[in-house]
Amino acid sequence: QIKELNNFVQLYPMPAQSNIKVMSKYPVSGYSILNIGGQIIEHKDFMTLNNVFEINVSNLAGGIYLLQILTQNGITLEKFNKL
């Protein structure tokens, strides 16, 4: 069973230009970037050691995207703007 988590991730800077820094209360096991229509644009599986990592978004066109963060505790969906 997947548990939906709220308010455990911080993203900055917003709006994003080239990178997004992600800070999580829980170790992250992967992420997906989705367009506003829900299509997966990028997906990566990994384990963070310090709950902080960066995602390069320079290849994305300007607009609104969703970032799905996966942890052992559950998942969350965060909206971000790309310039």
Confidence (pLDDT) at 51: 87
pTM: 0.89
Between 71 and 16, the more confident residue is 16
Confidence (pLDDT) at 3: 57
The model's pLDDT over 18-63, given as tens digits with 9 standing for 90+, comes to: 999 999 988 899 999 999 999 999 999 988 877 899 999 999 999 9
Distance CA 69, CA 67 (A): 6
DSSP string computed for the chain:
-PPB--S-EEEESSSBSSEEEEEESS-EEEEEEEETTS-EEEEEE---SSSEEEEE-TTSPSEEEEEEEEESS-EEEEEEEE-
What's the pLDDT band for 5 if we cut at 50, 70, 90? low
